[in-house]
Amino acid sequence: MKRAFLLIVVSLLVLLAVLLFNTLKVKEPNETVIPLPVFESALNESEMTARLSRALRFATLPDQPQAFDGFHDFLRQSFPLSHEALSLKTFGHSLLYHWDSGEDCAPVLLLAHQDVVPVSSPDAWEHPPFAGVVDSQFVWGRGAMDDKGSLMAILEATEALLADGRAPACDVWLAFGHDEETGGSEGASRMADWMAEQDLRFGMVLDEGGMMLPGSTLGIEQPVALIGIAEKGYMTVTLEARAEPGHSSRPPAKTAVGDLANAIAALQENPRPAGLSEPTRKMLQQVAPYQPFAKRMVFANLWLFEPLIVKQLAGKPETNALVRTTMSPTLLRAGVKDNVLPATAEATINFRLAPGESRESLLAYLEEQLPDSITVTPLDTFLSDPSPTSEIPSPAFERLAGLARSLPEQPVVAPFLLIAGTDARHYQPVSDQIFRFMPVALSQDDLPRFHGHNERLSREQYPRMVRFYAGVMLGEE
């Protein structure tokens, strides 16, 4: 008995020593800061803001081709040096620019998209969504954050570098899709296919996605700049239940609507398993040095504490999406009259696939969870498996991180898993260094503005975006 007790004590002491050793190894790294470029011809911030305002007045929606034509005319007029120095190839309404550096090195590809999502409730906006209103703090309008702000900042950077007589370190390509919000099949997909046919291989691809958020998001004091190194997959299915139609005064034991409701409830009560994907694991490891000691010990010893961390992340909607495939019922269709039992009831369910999930494994899960009375049909309008994870550390990632640290917020930089989708996924065949980051600082209150009401971009931050993208293009000067 005494021997067993001593063995337990020794085991606990060894465990404690391992935990402390791993924790003490975690120290704040000596991280590189790369200064943002300074232009000889000072940026005219009021003119830049005015151009962004005008860009937001083009309602570049899928069913508005004339808006894209007008937007393209506006770009040609607004950025004459860029349109003179860069070649331009079009794919429908998508634009692909090439800036030839004359250097023999891996090119850089910067992405943004022209299209915007519709506005469901314009009366809920503080300013009309397509008016491009400018006040003392913000530029307001649909697309300001998603994603004309990035598109315009990239072109402003190109124009400013040309005005200064400066060339990029390596060739720069700019790909501005026109249908990102509907899957990118006619824009980014076609441009990526053409690039692959030309045997282009990029040293870095940068798209929208991550951003700077308050450090409290990850339990630290400093702001955190989240650079996406992967993104979740996308799959939508319809669930259909059938039953005998009839009069609502004589309902049977089972109805189409009831069966469909039970099916949705079953999926919500039995979610996909949670776990730490590689991007999320790397994010936690990156912020570990900035945590209080107790949390630092947890993050430094994921081999032991992973179940605890996963449970905590899964307990909040804003972080649950980081650890599992999620499902969202988005559309319901049933019935024609309040006193008629419908013969069919349908639900549209949107899934965001976590790394390690596939469309095949998801369909197998649905078949296991749902009764035979429910028909599952995947929608083929847009399907995407989770993206590969960009390998880091790498020179491309470190350059983005160094530029991000030079922003006034001086953020801690961390990789992460983007839970939404971007055009970047189409470019996997032409690069293994794909990142998702927009150099703006937002609060948690700003996040609902994406696809929501009152989208806006800070006037103060916009020139910093321009300098950031210029820094990406210039590379090591």
CA distance 142 to 130: 6
Whole-angstrom CA distances from 339 to 245, 260, 372 are 11, 18, 27
Q: Of 115, 171, 423, 446, which is the active-site residue? A: 115
Query: Is the CB of residue 376 less than 8 Å from the CB of residue 350?
Result: no
What b/e readout covers 332-360, taking b as 16+ CB neighbours within 10 angstroms? eebbeeeeebbebbbbebebbbbbebebe
8 Å CB contact between 222 and 290: yes
For 107-156, give the DSSP string.
Answer: -EEEEEE------S-GGGSSS-TTS--B-SSEEESTTTTTTHHHHHHHHH
DSSP, res 384: B
Could you confirm whether 115 is annotated as catalytic? Answer: yes
Residues 6+ apart with CB under 8 A from 298: 305, 308, 309
147, 159, 179, 180: the active-site residue = 180
Question: Which residues lie below 8 Å from residue 192, measured CB to CB, with a gap of 6+?
Answer: 426, 427, 429, 430
Q: Is 460 helix (H, G, I), strand (E, B) or coil?
A: coil
In the sheet that holds 344-353, the strands lie side by side as 326-334, 344-353, 233-242, 374-378
Active site (catalytic) residues = 115, 180
